Structure 1
Amino acid sequence: MDNFEEIKPQHQEEEEEVNAIWVTEDVRSYLYDMAKWARFLSIVGFVFSAMVAMSAFSAGAIISTLSAVSPANPLLKMGAAGFTIFYLLIALIQFYPSLMLFKFSKAANTAVLYADQPSLGVAMGKLKSFFKFCGIITMVVIGFYIMMILMVLAVGVGSSML
């Protein structure tokens, strides 16, 4: 990182508006550190996704143990296939942001180490996708919480009328 030259803005005509962002040495350092942490978090996410996916295929054993311990458990209605699909869905939801972080890390490292502007654009695109996905998941969870609160209130009002 020490062999980079500071990029100076080119002088253009006074009438023309300049829309550019210059990457200073401080920003490069921050980007390089972000890429390291993003790689670490993505690898941890991949490991957890793999563990959840592997546990999805042990649903049969979980169901049989659960039926022996608690035969009236409502989770038994879901069945082994239901548990497998649910856990694979959770693994997939966890895998995507890890993949975006990994791709960001790879492109950001390339951008910083080789002063590659297209790689910086790719890195920022992957980071945008990561945050967009996290935002959508957050909205879905908040919507689910609101639905649950409304259902609890409806059941509470309905039971108080009886």
Structure 2
Amino acid sequence: MASVSASHLILFIASMMVAASVAGVFTDSIGQLSNAVSEQGLDVSSEVRTDIEVISDAGSDAIYNTSGNDNITLHVKNTGSEDLGAEPGQMDLFVDGQYARTFGVTLLDDGVVWRPGTVVRLEISHSLSPGDHRVKVVVNGDEEVFKFRT
């Protein structure tokens, strides 16, 4: 009878060790999953608070080649609640579907950060033929498309 109790005790201890190791693995995996969800939540929150609007007049002659350097000039307003970077590395521009590599960004107020309610001027170096054109501005996941005619 003692041998049955001893074997039951050994099996019980072994099952407790297996359960403890499985619980340790699950705890670590759940912790990593929780951290990933938190980081993704911060990214989504930043994207939700980001909103921009191109406020240039599509019918204006002040859009293309005003300086004689084959450049596109757009005014973009930060209409979201998030401070944005006002540098070329913080935004992506596409002109007629082609990635624009050469452009300048100028804040039109005295700040150093593109705050909500303020405007930046984009000077995109790109020659255009007469006709319809599109500029796509992407900032922090928010996209705006501006259509105009030259």
Instruction: Choose between structure 1 and 2: higher helix proportion.
Output: 1
> Normalising by the residue count of structure 2, what TM-score does the alignment of the two structures yield?
0.29
Instruction: Choose between structure 1 and 2: higher strand proportion.
Output: 2
> Normalising by the residue count of structure 1, what TM-score does the alignment of the two structures yield?
0.28
